[in-house]
Amino acid sequence: MPFELKILGCNSATPAYGRHHTAQLLHAGKHYFLIDCGEGTQERLTQYKAHTWKINHIFISHLHGDHYLGLMGLLFTMHLLKRTQDLHIYGQRGLDEIILAQLRYSDSKLNYTLVFHELNPNNKELIFEDGQIRVNSFPLKHRIPCCGFLFSEKQKPFRINKEKLTDDFPLQAIAALKQGKEYIDEKTGKKYSVNEYTLPPRKSRSYAYCSDTKYDEQLIPFIKNADLLYHEATFLADKEKWAHLTYHSTTHEAAKIAKAANVGKLLIGHYSARYKDVTPFVEEAREVFENSLLSEEGQLIEVED
Amino acid sequence: MPFELKILGCNSATPAYGRHHTAQLLHAGKHYFLIDCGEGTQERLTQYKAHTWKINHIFISHLHGDHYLGLMGLLFTMHLLKRTQDLHIYGQRGLDEIILAQLRYSDSKLNYTLVFHELNPNNKELIFEDGQIRVNSFPLKHRIPCCGFLFSEKQKPFRINKEKLTDDFPLQAIAALKQGKEYIDEKTGKKYSVNEYTLPPRKSRSYAYCSDTKYDEQLIPFIKNADLLYHEATFLADKEKWAHLTYHSTTHEAAKIAKAANVGKLLIGHYSARYKDVTPFVEEAREVFENSLLSEEGQLIEVED
């Protein structure tokens, strides 16, 4: 099952040096989750051959322009592309008002239904769940209400150990074993135990997204052990005071959070437009947390199971 | 005095083939007038080295997304660039509400003042005037309230015929003659007539902008004799019925208006995303009006005086 992240935008407040506002696309199983949607996201989706028409869920962390100003244009383009499927939008209070006012003044009636889900900026909450995946929002410490998101695969089926399969292996046994349940054949009385006939389930992967936040150890429990953590690093380490004042983080701070949360990999981004070369960002992050990566537009990051 | 138009975006509802949503920058004398502001305009302003910080007036023809969705991001970027000068925005009813809601939810207080001017979508109106230039809005026939804009240089000073200048030429005579007034020297009684001492003023140039409109002969009086006319041509001539239904125009229709209005040059744009190659647009327009041009992004069109 795919679990991979496409970077569509990695800069902070102003686009610069070919870097655009924040947007990411998580392809998890059958889902294409769009995470934040800065200005021009629709163009990046086309450029990187991402699947605009397969996006059914859009998660907007907060209402600073660099995280949502591409949404309205994307909604209109989805309409022009003859979308009919419901579109779920998860955002802070006010996003619905902003969108509905623009639909009203443009006298637009979309071909599809928008379903708004208001985020709770104060507590962790389950905001989406199906058979494969669970999405939680959790509070970040930013200048306005802001949420991070945790995308977690649910436990996967136990894998049948093919070496143990026989021609007369009962189908019902397979179904039960996959669910981690023992099976007893009524006719023969033979017992098929989970230990003997299965291999452990494939790993359930997780991706934690922390868009805009100052250094905040309180978010560690929400992202603990995530396989991949995106944590903003707007500034290099020497700008810690400025980062604090503007409710942003530095490279070292993002990496400290990654280390304390024991994540698999750290992905940093949301670079300030003051930096032309972002290589020092990853160099600095690695001083604290070796397994750090730079967000780069067009890049695909696979999370292995 | 410069009077030149920079094309920043020339496509209609969906960006495609490297073409973006509508935006133009008219550099007229000391003014940089931004005309419409589709998504990504701030990036195009940077890309084409236009003078973002010199823009003090933004004209938004109507509230379809492809004509204004870049405005909010541009306002934020102007703030980050430490703008302090007032910014005048001319738009249809509702644009202020849309902008103010987004400022409120992002808890943003701009460093500069926004001055909103509500357009009258039903009648021609003078919306800006200074010593050099006059801007009128006029109604277009689109699906929602929509205005065109006419930018006209005022009459320029008469030019002193340098061949007639003498060493004892009175300074007051020059000032009066430039204004087209005869001057009589009180001491000598000598008369300096306009006819004898001046050449006619340089031509006052004009640019008419018709963003989104169906074919409408009623707009001809508003744009009569303009040196440069931008008239949308969303579709090729064979899509006349579809153009009519969607309140847009074809190449032939735009060119018919240009011809009837006796303009100097016709500039077409707002191409539908269905067309990869837009060369046929100008070929078709020239069948009706020879002096037709294609809008192409990055292009600078000078209007000569």
Residue B166: pLDDT above 90? no
**Nearest residue of chain A to residue B100 (CA atoms):** A98
Confidence band for B51, pLDDT divided at 50, 70 and 90: confident
Q: Of B177, B199, B221, which residue is a domain's last?
A: B199
Residue window 14-43, chain B: list those with CB within 8 Å of chain A: 14-16, 20-21, 39-40, 42-43
Same structural domain for residues A74 and A215?
yes
Same structural domain for residues A175 and A101?
no
Which residues of chain B make contact with A42, given a CB cutoff of 8 A?
Answer: 14-15, 39
**Nearest residue of chain B to residue A18 (CA atoms):** B43
Q: Is A126 exposed, middle or buried (0-12, 13-18, 19+ CB in 10 A)?
A: exposed
Tens digits of per-residue pLDDT, A266-285?
Answer: 999 999 999 999 999 999 99
Same structural domain for residues A187 and A211?
no
Could you give the percent of chain B with pLDDT greater than 70? 100
Least confident of A218-227, B147-156, B178-187: B178-187
The residue range of the domain holding A182 is: 159-199
Same structural domain for residues B184 and B52?
no
| CB–CB contact A42 B15 (8 Å) | yes
Residues counted in chain B: 305
Q: Of B199, B221, B254, which residue is a domain's last?
A: B199
Quote the pLDDT of residue B164. Answer: 87
Confidence band for B54, pLDDT divided at 50, 70 and 90: very high
Least confident of A92-101, B58-67, B171-180, B278-287: B171-180
Same structural domain for residues A223 and A262?
yes
Give the residue-averaged pLDDT of A4-9: 97
Pick B213 or B1 by higher pLDDT.
Answer: B213
Q: How far away is chain A from the Cα of B67, in angstroms, using its nearest Cα?
A: 11
Quote the pLDDT of residue A81. Answer: 92
Does residue A139 sit at the B interface (CB-CB below 8 Å)?
no
* Range list of β-strands (E), B156-264: 159-160, 183-184, 191-192, 198-199, 206-210, 228-232
Residue A95: pLDDT above 90? yes
d(CA A5, CA A226): 14
Quote the pLDDT of residue B1. Answer: 87
Residue B165: pLDDT above 90? no
Same structural domain for residues A72 and A195?
no
Confidence band for A51, pLDDT divided at 50, 70 and 90: confident
> Residue A47: how many CB atoms within 10 A of its CB?
13
Quote the pLDDT of residue B167. Answer: 85
| CB–CB contact B40 A40 (8 Å) | yes
Same structural domain for residues B95 and B231?
yes
Quote the pLDDT of residue B237. Answer: 97
Confidence band for A167, pLDDT divided at 50, 70 and 90: confident
Give the residue-averaged pLDDT of A5-34: 95
Quote the pLDDT of residue A49. Answer: 92
Residue B32 in contact with residue B50, Cβ under 8 Å? yes
Residue B38 in contact with residue B22, Cβ under 8 Å? yes
Same structural domain for residues A96 and A224?
yes
Least confident of A56-65, A112-121, A205-214, B6-15: B6-15
Residue from A105, A142, A143 to probe the interface with B (highest B Cβ count within 10 Å): A105
Tens digits of per-residue pLDDT, B123-132?
Answer: 999 999 999 9
Tens digits of per-residue pLDDT, B83-119?
Answer: 999 999 999 999 999 999 999 999 999 999 999 999 9
**Mean of the per-residue pLDDT values of chain B:** 96
Quote the pLDDT of residue A1. Answer: 87
Query: Which of B66, B167, B168, B212 is flagged as catalytic?
Result: B66
Number of domains in chain A: 2
d(CA B98, CA B75): 13
Quote the pLDDT of residue A305. Answer: 83
The two three-digit tokens of residue B251, written as one number: 């190449």
Residue B301: pLDDT above 90? yes
| CB–CB contact B98 A95 (8 Å) | no
Residue from A106, A142, A144 to probe the interface with B (highest B Cβ count within 10 Å): A106
Quote the pLDDT of residue B168. Answer: 84
Q: Of A147, A169, A199, which residue is a domain's last?
A: A199
Does residue A119 sit at the B interface (CB-CB below 8 Å)?
no
Does residue A144 sit at the B interface (CB-CB below 8 Å)?
yes
Residue B211 in contact with residue B22, Cβ under 8 Å? yes
Could you give the percent of chain B with pLDDT greater than 90? 92
Candidates B13, B46, B144; nearest CB to A76: B13
Quote the pLDDT of residue B305. Answer: 83
Same structural domain for residues A235 and A105?
yes
Q: How far away is chain A from the Cα of B219, in angstroms, using its nearest Cα?
A: 22
d(CA B133, CA B60): 18
- What CATH number has the domain bearing residue A277? 3.60.15.10
Same structural domain for residues A174 and A231?
no
Same structural domain for residues A173 and A227?
no
Residue from A19, A96, A102 to probe the interface with B (highest B Cβ count within 10 Å): A102
Q: Is B227 a catalytic residue?
A: no
Same structural domain for residues A186 and A257?
no
| CB–CB contact A106 B14 (8 Å) | no
Return the bridge partners of A150, or none: A136, A208
| CB–CB contact B106 A144 (8 Å) | yes
Residue B209 in contact with residue B24, Cβ under 8 Å? yes
Give the residue-averaged pLDDT of B259-276: 96
Quote the pLDDT of residue B195. Answer: 92
